[in-house]
């Protein structure tokens, strides 16, 4: 970068419908007017990025550190006017990182030209100029008006594909959405699970997470923006992410940093909601919190996070007992962990530095990490790409939110998207149950794509 970026953040006031609001909605997902927009949305708030001012791509074991160094340099050089100084205001990068250090997939930070955000009911926008000129307040407001008015938002399931009016899933009218196997068919994947169980029983490792992929082809086109809007609408308690071709709605937070406070949401232990129908209200509690297998799996996941976070923390707290996270497709055993970050050499670590220390947790890899990682490569026969890798954003101060890219997929062409789902395997795991669990985890994306299963 020869010319430093110049950024201006403008407070757009409270967001909401009706007179007196510059942003005429309090639901950020309805501002997903551009199919290529980058986004991070939860309960109608978050950020959407339009256009591109800068980008960094990287592979390998140092991907987080190299990306962090690039970002620090970029923002150090930039001229920033940010009267708000909230987490997410000022220059912001969306990011997605490969799960594996050996992946060919390009990890990336993408810095949009325009970021539109809502936080605690207040809207703001940041415009970045790459040509050395200072953005004016008028230019920021004009840019927001432009992205909101053109092109018009399409209907859910829209794009070139017509949808069946009144269909609860918006099933495609031409009935041509195809669901095909990924790198391993169902039987071979269950064989891999059985092999994983034997290796655990043999004492090689304690827990292993095995994933598989399926390919969805939609001849009328993958309507990326419509998929994201549907996920944001149906899965309000998840973080809905869209970074280039990677889209999904994750319930799992690797690390969230605001100033000196870091938070994580650890999940492990899953129950398909369909299996809970008619079983009584306390069924999820009994099956998840009351099961030694699920509690064991969960304990391993928490341990892996807290041990990795401890060197960066002055204090850490978590509830004694995990809680049940209720999503439209599954129940999870969940724990929130909060840490007060320590200053190291006069600085609080950036969210990306923490990602470097925490990824991969046992929730998506296993324990011990290196044994599980090698076994994943041996058994899955899959390059996970960005699936189960960190996805999120960071700002100039290092604040950020990095979810784990679960319950999502990668758009591979105009008409094809590859979906990924995995399960924690312990000694008591049964391949058929794990296969069923992957289908429950594919469900948010399948439904957003107009497929029911």
Nearer residue to ligand ISJ within complex by CB, 89 or 270: 270
Residue 441 annotated in active site: no
Question: What is d(CA 108, CA 115) in angstroms, rounded to the nearest whole number?
Answer: 17
Contact status: 267 vs ligand ISJ (CB under 6 A):
yes
Question: What is d(CA 268, CA 251) in angstroms, rounded to the nearest whole number?
Answer: 11
Could you tell me the smallest distance in angstroms from the CB atom of residue 269 to ligand ISJ?
5
Residue 252 annotated in active site: yes
Contact status: 391 vs ligand ISJ (CB under 6 A):
no
Could you tell me the smallest distance in angstroms from the CB atom of residue 447 to ligand ISJ?
15
The binding track of 403-432 with respect to ligand ISJ, each residue x by CB under 6 A or -, is ---xx-------------xxxx--------
Could you tell me the smallest distance in angstroms from the CB atom of residue 6 to ligand ISJ?
40
Question: What is d(CA 377, CA 373) in angstroms, rounded to the nearest whole number?
Answer: 6
Catalytic residue from among 45, 68, 207, 437:
207
Choose which of 8, 222, 354, 364 interacts with ligand ISJ (CB under 6 A).
364
Contact status: 48 vs ligand ISJ (CB under 6 A):
no
Contact status: 49 vs ligand ISJ (CB under 6 A):
no
The binding track of 159-198 with respect to ligand ISJ, each residue x by CB under 6 A or -, is ----------------------------------------
**247 and 391 in contact (C-beta within 8 Å)?**
no
Question: What is d(CA 350, CA 357) in angstroms, rounded to the nearest whole number?
Answer: 11
**Residue 315 CB neighbours (<10 A):** 9
Choose which of 10, 143, 148, 363 interacts with ligand ISJ (CB under 6 A).
363
Question: What is d(CA 181, CA 178) in angstroms, rounded to the nearest whole number?
Answer: 10
Question: What is d(CA 281, CA 224) in angstroms, rounded to the nearest whole number?
Answer: 36
Torsion of Cα atoms, 327 then 330 then 334 then 338, to 10°: -40
Catalytic residue from among 113, 252, 297, 447:
252
Choose which of 110, 127, 144, 209 interacts with ligand ISJ (CB under 6 A).
209
> Where in 61-120 is the site for ligand ISJ (CB under 6 A)?
none
Burial state string for 354-383 with b = 16 or more CB within 10 A and e = fewer than 16: bbbebbbbbbbbbbebebbbebbeebbebb
Question: What is d(CA 306, CA 298) in angstroms, rounded to the nearest whole number?
Answer: 12
Name the residues that contact ligand ISJ, by CB under 6 A.
209, 211, 252, 267-270, 332, 363-364, 406-407, 421-424, 441
């Amino acid at each position: 970068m020869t010319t430093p970026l110049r950024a201006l953040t403008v407070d757009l006031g409270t967001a909401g419908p009706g007179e007196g609001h510059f942003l005429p909605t309090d639901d950020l997902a309805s501002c997903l007017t551009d199919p290529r927009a980058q986004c991070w949305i939860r309960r109608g708030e978050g950020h959407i990025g339009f256009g591109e001012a800068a980008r960094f791509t990287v592979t390998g074991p140092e991907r987080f550190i190299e990306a962090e160094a690039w970002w620090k340099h970029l923002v150090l050089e930039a001229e920033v006017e940010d009267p708000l100084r909230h987490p997410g205001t000022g220059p912001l990068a969306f990011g997605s990182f490969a799960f594996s250090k050996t992946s060919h997939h390009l990890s990336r930070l993408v810095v949009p030209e325009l970021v539109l955000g809502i936080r605690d009911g207040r809207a703001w926008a940041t415009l970045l100029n790459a040509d050395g000129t200072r953005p004016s307040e008028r230019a920021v407001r004009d840019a927001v008006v432009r992205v909101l008015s053109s092109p018009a938002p399409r209907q859910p399931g829209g794009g070139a594909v017509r949808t069946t009016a009144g269909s609860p899933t918006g099933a495609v009218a031409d009935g041509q959405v195809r669901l095909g196997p990924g790198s391993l068919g169902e039987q071979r994947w269950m064989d891999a699970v059985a092999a994983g169980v034997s290796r655990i029983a043999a004492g090689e490792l304690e827990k292993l997470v095995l994933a598989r992929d399926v390919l969805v082809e939609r001849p009328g086109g993958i309507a990326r923006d419509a998929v994201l809007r549907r996920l944001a609408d149906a899965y309000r308690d998840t973080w809905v992410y869209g970074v280039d071709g990677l889209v999904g709605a994750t319930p799992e937070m690797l690390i969230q940093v605001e100033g000196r406070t870091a938070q994580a949401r650890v999940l492990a232990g899953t129950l398909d909601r369909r299996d809970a129908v008619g079983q009584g209200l306390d069924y999820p509690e009994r099956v998840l919190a009351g099961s030694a297998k699920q509690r064991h799996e969960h304990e391993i996941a928490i341990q892996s996070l807290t041990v990795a976070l401890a060197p960066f923390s002055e204090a850490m707290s978590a509830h004694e007992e995990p809680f049940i996270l209720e999503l439209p497709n599954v129940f999870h055993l969940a724990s929130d962990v909060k840490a007060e970050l320590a200053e190291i050499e006069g600085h609080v670590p950036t969210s990306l530095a923490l990602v470097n220390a925490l990824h991969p947790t046992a929730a998506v890899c296993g324990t011990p990490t290196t044994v599980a990682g090698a076994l994943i490569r041996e058994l899955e026969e899959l390059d996970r790409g960005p699936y189960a890798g960190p996805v999120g954003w960071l700002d100039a101060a290092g604040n950020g939110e990095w979810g784990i890219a679960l319950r999502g997929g990668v758009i591979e062409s105009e008409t094809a998207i590859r979906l990924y789902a995995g399960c924690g395997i312990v000694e008591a795991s049964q391949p058929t149950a794990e296969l069923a669990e992957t289908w429950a985890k594919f469900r948010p994306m399948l439904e957003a794509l107009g497929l029911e299963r």
